[in-house]
Amino acid sequence: MMQMQCAVRIGLVYLISGFGGSLMSALFIQSNVSVGASGALFGLIGSMLSELITNWSLYANKVYLQKICLINE
């Protein structure tokens, strides 16, 4: 169930950021038509980056523990 919720969230972020990127492209570049998935991909990267920054202490501790485990082996 949790994996399905995660997939739905990622799908919603992808669709919303893709729509927002297309809308901004249409508003700011009115002379050309722009179609692509770059806005959606940048939206996904931005959401992952914000999640990383928000939970930095969790990830930093895991990396530290992995380094200790690799050194001790």
The string of pLDDT tens digits covering residues 20-57 is 988 888 888 888 877 778 889 999 999 988 888 887 88
Closest CA to 42 of 50, 34, 31, 32: 50
Higher pLDDT, 19 or 56: 19
Instruction: Take residue 4 and report the two structure tokens written for it.
Output: 């399905």
Q: Is the pLDDT of residue 64 over 70?
A: no
Query: Per-residue DSSP letters for 29-69?
Result: --SS----SHHHHHHHHHHHHHHHHHTHHHHHHHHHHHHHH
Q: What is the pLDDT of residue 13?
A: 92
Neighbours of 21 (CB within 10 A): 19
The distance from CA 62 to its chain's CA centroid, rounded to whole angstroms, is 20
Q: What is the pLDDT of residue 51?
A: 84
pLDDT classification of 62: cutoffs 50, 70, 90: confident
